[in-house]
Amino acid sequence: MGAFLDRIPWTILIAACLTLGLAPFVPEPHVVEKLRMLFSGKLRKPIDVFDLLMHGAPWALLALKALTKLAGR
């Protein structure tokens, strides 16, 4: 997994987080809405789970890349 994350440039991950990870921007980012649904127990529909995974994937990859870099140093 580390080799896969090393091949992804930081700029691409940050750009993905700021675009796909936060889209749509108004009225609130989709990932925020889905996380709110998850924590309140309302995330039940398959489309909502898919939305959370799709909008959360860039954030998860960015966090994993940062953690592997911090753990390696």
Provide DSSP, 23-54.
Answer: -S-SSS-HHHHHHHHHHHT---SHHHHHHHHH
Domain tally, the chain:
1
What was the pLDDT predicted at 3?
Answer: 86
**Does residue 21 surpass a pLDDT of 70?**
yes
Tens of pLDDT, residue by residue over 22-57, are: 888 888 888 999 999 999 999 999 999 999 999 999
Name the residue range of residue 16's domain: 2-72
**Does residue 73 surpass a pLDDT of 70?**
no
Full-model pTM: 0.84
For residue 1, give both structure tokens.
């997994």
What was the pLDDT predicted at 30?
Answer: 85
